[in-house]
Amino acid sequence: MDTARYAELFLTESQDNLSAINHALLELERTPTAREPIGALFRAVHTVKGMSATMGYAVVAELSHELETLLDVVRRGDRAVTTSLMDTLFSAADALEQAIELSVAGREHEVNAGAAVDALRAAASSTAMSAEPNATRRSRKKRSRGRTRAKVPPVTVVVTQEPNTPMPAVRAYLAIERARTLGTIVVTEPDPAALDGDDFDGRLTIGLDTDATDQEIDRVIRSAGSVAHVAITRADGRTNGNGSTLPNANGAPLTGAAGRASELAPARAHRHIRIDLHRLDTMMNLIGELVITRGRLQQLSATLNEPALTEAVTQASRLVADLQDGIMTSRMVPVWQVFDRFPRVVRDAARALGKQVDFIVEGQEIELDRSLLDEIGDPIVHLLRNAIDHGLETPDERVSAGKSPTGRLTLIAARDRSAVVIRVTDDGKGIDRDRVLARAHEMGLVDRSRDELTDDELLRLIARPGFSTARQVTDISGRGVGIDAVHARVRALGGTVDMRTAKGQGTSVTVRLPATLAIVRALLAKVGDETYAIPMTHVNETVHRESNTIRQVKGREVLVLRDDVLPLLHLRDVVQLPRRDVGGGQVVALVVADRRAGMVVDELTGQQEIVIKPFDAVRDGLSVFSGATILGDGVPALILDVSSLF
């Protein structure tokens, strides 16, 4: 069997299992006496072992085998869950992840798993039961003899895979592991050891001792994927309409409506398929061009004033909008796909710094464009590590300050209009404004007459490249690249960063991102003959400029808007054009996080969905643009980066 073409599928399945392994390890560390985490670990590792053996990844198979052996010792109660054991298991999980990635990349020769394998063997052998290997062999022989005698199980499940299922042996392993969660597996046909053979035809029979209902069995087995039919027969004669076959005690098959019914059973429609992300990117690019063309058609239709043409363009516009919505929705994925790895990041950082952290994650079901989700992972890691290193105190310091020895770190994702908000909050000591101000004085960044900083000024300072108040560099932070990297990356994604901190109470950093990077709705504003696009995410409202609403406060223009006083900007100043002497114009009320301002423009020409194109600014050019777009009349327009304006 040519396994190379299944490498990506193996990697995807393995990543799911690695995530399960890390979560189970964290749960086991929290509750060392619990049985459920050990069972979850064993199942995930066993699945990886079976898949890697099928793929021919020897190092991964060996490593997972040794890890499974150690977990079996722990599961039997022959080895206590200690700190040293947990360190060994976490290290083995890291080694397993690296081995999988290198093996899939065709670089298995670069895997150095010797130390991890030795550590696992040493941990497994350090048990009071020195005869454990012999006991294990006797147990296996007993199970083998039991399989030969093959008593009739209470429930028989016949699983038929879909035709041309990739990695059929792996799917069969998964089905067996799923079945194991329902009860005790009495027998399987063929034996799991024979699944790797070329003669496996995709048909698997599992004998179960379980109290689960037929519906539950069907659901659990189908969750293994690529399952065409599930036939369930009970020893008492009850059936779900499909029969099954299983060798009886004499080796003869247990007959029934069996194969005929299962062959005729209708296949359940599959609701999920895997699509290469590059294909979705191509579709998004095409729909972007289609949106631009739609705008052009709408403008031409308006000028020609031909009813039939107008009707056709309107219908086409609706279809394009539906297609656009469908493609954009298909790119949306829940943030848990990235958030899943953060508990392990927090755990490792906390242990390295000798701190106790209670990590809470909320809003994992919030959806974000896949391309954005891939990009936001590293900035969040920076924020979490900074919070643990700089924000949270050591247990002794927290007790001295009247706090719980365990710090609280929260990661929250939420929807806010057309944006996604990600917030990292800790209950630590807060940012030391005096130290930041002193460092800023040393670097000449702030006038020495200043004796205090606002939250916004504080953020701008610590987000400067290389700015750091850390007294020493650690493996976690201290090089002045944390908040700088976050700020730069989020800005590049069209988002904003906001920070609030209070001495002794903690710090909260909020990242606001557009739900998608490709197509956004924008307000079109003109100054002179130039048109600029303002993302609607930051537009609160628009008002006509009236002279009696403009005031001067401390030498700066402000707009009095009902009960609010907004600092006033001029788009002409932003793009370095001379102001017009005549009055009038429009004011756009902008909002970025908790900050608000008004921006004066010459004219507003309407709203439009725009396709964001990458923008490479000229050297020494203005840094107030986040991209460019093509309008309906074919004229390019620059997109304002609102967060950089105030």
State the catalytic residues.
46, 68, 386
Report DSSP letters for 445-481, one per residue: -S-TT-----HHHHHHHHTSTT----SS--SSS-SS-
C-alpha 155/C-alpha 244 separation (Å) is 10
Burial-class residue 89 by CB neighbours within 10 Å (0-12, 13-18, 19+): buried
Tally Cβ neighbours within 10 Å of residue 124. 22
Cis peptide before 190 (omega within 30 of 0): yes
C-alpha 640/C-alpha 176 separation (Å) is 55
Contact at 8 Å (CB) between 117 and 64? no
DSSP 247: B
Joined together, the tokens standing for residue 64 give 């997972």
Report DSSP letters for 547-592, one per residue: GGGEEEETTEEEEEETTEEEEEEEHHHHTT-PPPSS---EEEEEEE
Place of tokens 């990661």: 411
Burial-class residue 66 by CB neighbours within 10 Å (0-12, 13-18, 19+): buried
Tally Cβ neighbours within 10 Å of residue 293. 14
Longest Cα–Cα distance of the chain, Å, equals 102
Cα torsion 589, 593, 595, 600 to 10°: value is -30
Helix (H, G, I), strand (E, B) or coil at 286: helix
Joined together, the tokens standing for residue 558 give 């402000």
DSSP 267: P
Contact at 8 Å (CB) between 523 and 542? yes
C-alpha 559/C-alpha 545 separation (Å) is 9
Joined together, the tokens standing for residue 594 give 């908790």
Place of tokens 């950089």: 644
Q: Which is nearest to 339 in space by CA: 17, 23, 21, 8?
A: 23
